[in-house]
Amino acid sequence: MTNEKMKALVTGGAGFIGSHLVDQMTVNGGKVTVFDDMSAGSMSNLDRGNDSPNLKIIKESLLDPVKVLEAVEGIDIVYHLAANPEVRTSKAGPEDHYKQNVQATYNLLEAIRKRGDINCLAFTSTSTVYGEPDEIPTPETYAPLKPISHYGASKLAAEALMCSYAHMYGFRCVIFRMANVVGPRSNHGVTYDFVNKLRKDPTVLEILGDGTQTKSYLYVNDCVKGMLLGVEKSNYDVEILNIGSEDRINVLSIGQIVIEEMGLDDVEIRLTGGVDGGRGWKGDVKIMQLNMSRLKSLGWQPQKNSSEAIRLTARSIIKSDN
């Protein structure tokens, strides 16, 4: 079946990426159930589809196995986006990542096992599972995987669980290892932080680290199109696909873009110097770019580069707060 004909469950569907995925699927005519505890998501993110007869919203937690089992009844495909996305330990500790990224995934997999009729599970993993690879752009075949943050470790643990359940219980699994995804409705990350800092004090922008951290940024529309295509076109029982932009941008350049988009002049840039050789925080991967040849071979191509994605994101954040 194509994505449009499947009955889909989207965990974290009221969140940033999840709501954009839900929008696209409902536009395509798909029947979608959103499962979200609203701890990070928002009902306002689903405004475009609230009146659609094809959209159902369940406000519950993946930490409740009974509710999860009820939610997967009659579902063909599950998009698992619910997670704690924070890398910094000041915002999320080991227990947060274990419960929200590992325990929640286990509960979902158990529900899929018990129902026994789910065709496919798609999962938003992360580039941080690679840790600090020697090969950049980094392919899906890179090893060994040595994440340097609790977030990356919890996502890698979830990947391993999914692979085992898919092989043992006969459903297809597509894992997307993502670069930094940005765009409208984003409520965390470097662009969001910079806008908020400059709103508080438009004369100074503090940048964590030494400013040379350089990463790939993917616009959310490109991300959603890649996910839908990857699920439709992939041929393996367990498929791992990198998804990101074709280039990368450093954090100083991101700061300059945000300053320009806010129309500010004479802003002082203050670098904190960071930790461990100029990182913004413990667990911050300093250089990241993914090799996407596998997904591109299926017919996907990102339309925005990192700079364009950051600029459009800054504009949307500034506009939404006015």
User: Hey, how many other C-beta atoms are within 10 angstroms of the C-beta on 200?
Assistant: 7
Give the span between the Cα atoms of 178 and 208, in whole angstroms: 22
| Out of 170-174, 259-263, 272-276, least confident range | 272-276
pLDDT at 88: 64
pLDDT at 2: 54
Q: Where are the domains of the chain?
A: 3-181+218-243, 186-215+247-286+304-321
123 φ/ψ sector (left φ>0, alpha ψ -120 to 50, else beta): beta
In tens, the pLDDT along 75-97 reads: 999 999 999 877 665 566 889 89
In tens, the pLDDT along 93-112 reads: 889 899 999 999 999 999 99
pLDDT at 94: 87
Residue 88 to residues 18, 216, 270, Cα–Cα distance (Å): 22, 18, 20
Q: Which of 267, 251, 247, 270 is nearest to 259 (CA)?
A: 267
Give the span between the Cα atoms of 241 and 310, in whole angstroms: 23
Phi, psi of 171 (to 5 degrees): -120, 160
**Does residue 47 register a pLDDT over 60?**
yes
**Does residue 1 register a pLDDT over 60?**
no
What class has domain 3-181+218-243? alpha beta
**Does residue 161 register a pLDDT over 90?**
yes
Catalytic annotation present for 169: no
- Pairing of β 214-215 and β 249-250: antiparallel
CATH number for the domain running over 186-215+247-286+304-321: 3.90.25.10
Query: What value does the mean pLDDT of the chain take?
Result: 94
Q: What predicted TM-score, i.e. pTM, was given to this entire model?
A: 0.95
In tens, the pLDDT along 282-294 reads: 999 999 999 999 9
Compute the average pLDDT of residues 241-264: 98
Catalytic site residue from 79, 130, 142, 151:
151
